Structure 1
Amino acid sequence: MTATRVCALSELEQDAAIRVEIEGVPMAVVLDSNGVVHAIGDTCTHGDISLAEGFVDGETLECWAHGSAFSLRTGRPLNLPAYEPVPVYAVTIDGDDVLIDPTPQKEA
């Protein structure tokens, strides 16, 4: 599938997440403290909660409701109560444009 522009890089705040949708698929887009942009599924697998409303800490995004933290690189939960991963999406930066391929990445 083709990558879709979701926002401008300049719209992202460091260590914060925003919620975007591509073709009805919700995603959390994060600019981490190292300046890397990540995109993961926006719905916590423990509860139907938007992860974009959570807390960014390094390379993790923590659900505000129950505290499950997800790896921004792999989508895997790092603690309970969540035990299922969220999808991870490929991000491309083109100038000031943030592009996301809505096809979930396969783990290496």
Structure 2
Amino acid sequence: MPSEGTWVYVVNLRRVYWGRRTRRAIRAVRMVREFVRRHTKADEVVIDNELNNYIWSRSREKPPARVKIIVSIREEEPEEGGERIRKAVVRLAGRKLRPGRYKG
């Protein structure tokens, strides 16, 4: 389980093409969310608008086969008190970044 920091992942979305054609982009967004939750143990996953637009850019029937993402993890205190919340913010990565952990 990674602690606070920034990670780069490549998410394979080929399994989305097994499903119904009209639900592929919806399933791709859900797969990215589940992938991040599984790899970071985050309580809350926030997908950036740029990544969402990239997945939906080729219509709902033809999402990209793989997506390179940057995941920033941080822990936040709730306003009312209680347990800390692990929050993962997911953004679209550039082409030059390699998968792994980055300081920042």
TM-score when scaled to structure 2? 0.29
| Bigger proportion of residues as helix | 2
CA radius of gyration, larger in: 2
TM-score when scaled to structure 1? 0.28
Determine which structure has greater relative contact order: mean sequence separation of CA pairs < 8 Å that are 6+ residues apart, divided by chain length: 2
